[in-house]
A and B are shown apart, each in its own frame.
Chain A
Amino acid sequence: MMEYPTHSEGPFVVISLTGEVDMNYSPQARQQILAHLDGQRHVLVDLSQVSYIDSSGVASLVEGLQKAKSSNLRFGLVGASRASMLVLRLARLDRVFPLYGTLEDALGKQA
């Protein structure tokens, strides 16, 4: 199974999801998000290269947000692509996640 690229940025781990985050790839996204939160890291998920995401992909993000809240860690979404914004809006989750246009926005506001 492919692994999504990650890098450290200030206090955050940035996980960059790419391509089609569907039922085949959302378990990998979920596993990486939860692993970094388990390691007590703040997490940003970069959605700028996501060409398609379905409810299973969004469920991985919701699980990350909930785990972050219960662990007193920060969790946000960066650069939501058109495809990801469509699903977030329809699921009314655009009001639930911290959303940032760019990584700089996220770092500036969260620092």
Chain B
Amino acid sequence: MADARLLLRLRCAADAGQLPLLRDRIRQALAGQGEAPPEAVDSLVLAVNEACMNIIQHAYGPWQNGDILLELFRDDGGVTVRITDFADPVDWSRCRPRDLEDIRPGGLGLHLINELMDEVAFLGHPGGRGNALQMKKKWHRSQGGAA
């Protein structure tokens, strides 16, 4: 991400009550990027929300408290989001989207993230602790409203 420009850096408690703030701040940061297609903005907001829900529910779970660090970068190809938590390391190889034919409540988050984003990469455990997820949504200047 050598040519990436930081649009937003926000650290907040990993708490459901913070999710509306996170969504609003992403929308505000992208509103300044005139050419961002509305569908791409909606996709980024939803994907970040789902990733943060996973952090709240699974990485920290009911017994740990901690923060989420959200970073948003703009480059020519679109927007990259990096989401870092400071919980115990998660075994990413065990995080798999579930079979959608199995209709049941819950477990859709990873599937939505994979569908909404063009690239999803688990960056591991920065500093030996926590977990970092990086996602990219691509669009081009000529793309207009079709994300």
A residues contacting B by CB (< 8 A) are: 20, 22-24, 52, 54-56, 58-60, 62-63, 65-66, 83, 86-87, 90-93, 96
* 4 pairs of A and B residues whose beta carbons are closest in the complex: A59-B105, A55-B108, A23-B16, A63-B105
CB neighbours of A83 from chain B (8 A): 42
Q: In the complex where A86-B42, A87-B46, A92-B100 touch, is A58 in contact with B17 (Cβ < 8 A)?
A: no
Once the chains bind, are A54 and B103 in contact (CB under 8 Å)?
no
CB neighbours of A96 from chain B (8 A): 103
Q: Chain A's nearest CB lies how many Å from the CB of B17?
A: 7
Q: A52-B46, A56-B53 are in contact. List 19 more A-B contacts (CB 8 A).
A: A20-B20, A20-B23, A22-B19, A22-B20, A22-B49, A23-B19, A23-B56, A52-B45, A55-B50, A55-B53, A55-B106, A55-B112, A66-B103, A66-B104, A66-B105, A87-B112, A90-B111, A90-B112, A91-B100
* Contacts A/B (CB < 8 Å), 26 sampled: A20-B20, A22-B19, A23-B19, A23-B53, A23-B56, A54-B49, A54-B53, A55-B50, A55-B106, A55-B108, A58-B108, A59-B105, A59-B106, A63-B105, A65-B103, A83-B42, A86-B46, A87-B112, A90-B111, A90-B112, A90-B115, A90-B116, A91-B100, A91-B111, A92-B100, A96-B103
